[in-house]
Chains A and B, each alone.
Chain A
Amino acid sequence: MVKTSVARDDNKKNSSDETVVVSMEHVNKWFGQFHVLRDINLRVVKGERIVVCGPSGSGKSTLIRCLNRLEKHQDGDINVHGIELNNDVKNIDEIRREVGMVFQHFNLFPHLSIIENCMLAPIWVRKTPRAEAEEIAMHFLTRVKIPEQALKYPGQLSGGQQQRVAIARALCMQPQLMLFDEPTSALDPEMIKEVLDTMVELAEDGMTMICVTHEMGFARKVADRVIFMDEGQIIEQNEPEAFFNNPQSDRTKLFLSQILGH
């Protein structure tokens, strides 16, 4: 399903300086009375590819949405790209500039053409000159292999194409970290591959990625680390080989048996 072998080890050796891109310390969050994130501790270094999995409602989407303040955590420290994530709007803006996000339902801007979707943030947030923004947009649209759709509108594209545009849109800001929130869950089966291929290529280029996904094939081939969450906690994390072949926790075993068992 997914391209084979991403140069996992090379990447790790290269990042010997271990720049920490994300650090979460004792992060807690509640939705009303519901304790949705419970004492989350996570460190992600530059170039690392993390896959977060777990049953629905386990808080995995909330976890990554806390990293760019789409959700506000109530307790604990989050540090992204060296910037403390607190109520300071300036910090939040700075973090959002460095963090790209891809959503389950794409969230493209339907009133703008594909290329305008990609140029918008560079022009308005990074203050890139228009011509340069267009160049950047075309570069990344070419990378996700849909430069020919640049002048169409999102409504005219297939789901897989839209999701690739969403990836290109995030890349146009040239982020340090990419967050993927179930990027293939809303796609028809025949379109999942094209999106995963794009993500694999991105991983090969050394992008730091945190992916919430149920694509276990992708996790096996790309991830440096797989994190399993349940009931708002990180239950188990390990390298994919060990995680899939030799899960330690009963909850992990149960989860894996359910998603791999058919």
Chain B
Amino acid sequence: MVSNGTRKERATATNNESAFIRQEDAPILPPPITSAGVAGWLNDNIFASMLDFSTLGAAVKSILMAIFTAFVAYIFFDQVYGLLDFAIFSAVWQDPEEQKRQVCWTIEQGGKLPNGWHGACWPYIIAKTKFILYGAYPNESLWRVNSTYLLGAILLVWVMIDRLPYRKLVGAVLLTIYPIFATVMLTGGGFGLSQFSVGVNTIIGLALISLGRAGKMGWITGPFLDLSKMAGVAGWFFIFFAAALVSVGVDFDLSKVDTRDWGGLLITLVVATTAIVVSLPLGILLALGRRSSLPVARTLSIIFIEFWRGVPLITVLFMASVMIPLFMPEGVNFDSLLRALIGVTLWQSAYMAEVIRGGLQAIDKGQYEGADAVGLSYWQSMRLIILPQALTRVLPGIVNTIISVFKDTSLVSIVGLFDLLGATQATIADAAWSTPVQASTGYLVVALIFFVFCFGMSRYSMYIERKLDRGH
């Protein structure tokens, strides 16, 4: 269509400057070398601001930029080197003679290391690894925690890799059977079967499901049809709850591990995953409720969101651990981990709801109308049209909230739970390992573990963002 030619073009009417007819197409040329490839990238991103000496002003600016760049690069590499030096090059790795703290002492302090030495004391971390990761969880039962982790990791990775089959099924297992499995494995289960609660849940569940069936069969019509559908869905939750009660009630002959003995990364992961997994659907419901045209749903959602958002997490946790027992009848004792879990989850749901509401507001009115016009019901249009777009748009916000709650779980240490940070702090207080670098080493490990999880989530969300990008 377009051919290479010379740049020579002629205006046919020489007298009339405004008339012009192209005789030959202008050639299509490759871009100049300075704007393509590696050289182009380096030029655009680094040298372009430093190589302009065409005027005095530009020259001064270039020199200043070069000095500034060198300065920033120096600071950066100096810091990175300092960190690597502390963590790797100067670090003490082994404690063959079991000297404990003395292995990390300088001559001045009574040890063997040169004076002025500054490095990580890894033998201390190695000795405390179990406590940092599991708290006081009994050693002989650690396999239960590890197998819970392993199964969770396998299922999660399975769901995350697009090419694997049965991803929806695995996802369903991850959200239903796996939590029950984890509860039984981690606590030991065997809470005793309350035939009454199981029975009540089963009966309610079956009743609601048959209501939903009746709606599907067309026996329920008019304004109650939607209600019957919702009842059908709710019924499965009751059945699930009954199944969960049975599972944690049956004695699997595992030794009981009180949640007071849980600690370290285990607590962090349990609190964070529960809060994240439960707050997302709850947040979606609250966000929809807040935009609903039904006054009851709207008012309840607003009250819930504003209440939980108006209270600091620390207050929520204190209330959960101090106030709730006061209101409970004597003898009823809620597990303190469970109380913290519920507190963090509800608090997180309110934040999630507002992030998602932001996404809902960003959806063009035409999308709602398009969905209405083809005859989709409210829930269908939310599930198939509105939410997929809204959630995609606020994915950075959702991940932000998730990462934020992952780190906020550290606050549970104020109600006596030893999360990753709390457990590490407890090891720092151990005099057997008391050295000047003990705290630095401990906090470095905590920071690293947090960073690995948060950075992982961040990268995965970027991958999802790219995957969901539809070029609009």
Contacts and interface: CB of A to CB of B under 8 A. Distances in A.
B366 A173 contact: no
11 contacts: A70-B373, A89-B225, A96-B374, A109-B370, A109-B385, A111-B389, A111-B468, A120-B376, A125-B374, A125-B380, A153-B471
Interface in A88-122: 88-90, 93, 96-97, 99-101, 103, 105-111, 120-121
Contact of B222 (A88, A97, A108): A88
B112 to A, nearest CB: 64
A110 B471 CA distance: 9
A136 interface: no
A170 interface: yes
B375 A121 contact: yes
A34 interface: no
A68 interface: yes
A31 interface: no
A68 B366 CA distance: 14
A89 B370 contact: no
A93 B370 contact: no
Contacts of A96: 372-375
Interface of A: 68-70, 88-90, 93, 96-97, 99-101, 103, 105-111, 120-121, 124-125, 153-156, 169-170, 173
Nearest to A69: B372
A69 B385 CA distance: 19
Interface string B215-240: 00000011101100000000000000
Contacts of A107: 364, 366-367, 369-370, 373
Interface in B440-472: 468, 470-472
A121 to B, nearest CB: 4
Contact of A155 (B226, B366, B468, B472): B472
B221 A103 contact: no
B384 interface: yes
A105 B366 contact: yes
B389 A121 contact: no
Nearest to B381: A124
Contact of A68 (B223, B373, B388): B373
Contacts of B367: 107, 109
Q: Among B226, B372, B389, which residue has the most Cβ atoms of chain A within 10 A?
A: B372
Contacts of A97: 375
B468 to A, nearest CB: 7
A110 B472 contact: yes
Contact of A156 (B369, B372, B471): B471
A99 B375 CA distance: 9
Pick the 10 closest A-B CB pairs, nearest first: A155-B472, A107-B370, A121-B374, A96-B375, A107-B366, A101-B373, A125-B375, A110-B472, A155-B471, A153-B470
Contact of B472 (A70, A105, A154, A170): A154
Interface in B341-379: 364, 366-367, 369-377
Grouping DSSP codes into helix (H, G, I), strand (E, B) and loop, the B interface class, with mixed when no group exceeds half, is: helix
Contacts, number: 79
Contacts of A106: 366
B389 A103 contact: no
Contacts of B222: 88-90
A69 B375 CA distance: 11
Nearest to B388: A111
B183 interface: no
Given A107-B367, A110-B472, A111-B392, A89 B374 contact: no
A173 B374 CA distance: 8
Contacts of B471: 153, 155-156
Contacts of A110: 389, 470, 472
Contact of A153 (B225, B364, B472): B472
Given A103-B370, A109-B367, 15 more contacts: A70-B369, A70-B372, A70-B373, A89-B223, A90-B225, A93-B375, A100-B373, A105-B366, A109-B389, A110-B470, A111-B470, A121-B374, A153-B472, A155-B472, A169-B374
A88 B221 CA distance: 10
A243 B226 CA distance: 47
Contacts of B472: 110, 153-155
Q: Among B223, B369, B374, B468, which residue has the most Cβ atoms of chain A within 10 A?
A: B374
Given A90-B225, A109-B370, A111-B468, A173 B389 contact: no
Contacts of B370: 103, 107-109
Contacts of A124: 376, 380, 384
Contacts of B388: 111
Nearest to B221: A90
A154 B389 CA distance: 14
Contacts of A173: 374-375
Nearest to B385: A109
A70 B372 CA distance: 7
A93 B377 contact: yes
Contact of A103 (B223, B366, B377, B468): B366
Given A90-B225, A105-B366, A125 B470 contact: no
Given A107-B367, A110-B470, A111-B389, A121 B376 contact: yes
A69 B368 CA distance: 13
B374 A170 contact: yes
A70 B365 CA distance: 11
Nearest to B226: A89
A97 B373 CA distance: 8
B369 A103 contact: yes
A99 B388 CA distance: 25
Contacts of B223: 88-89
Contacts of A111: 388-389, 392, 468, 470
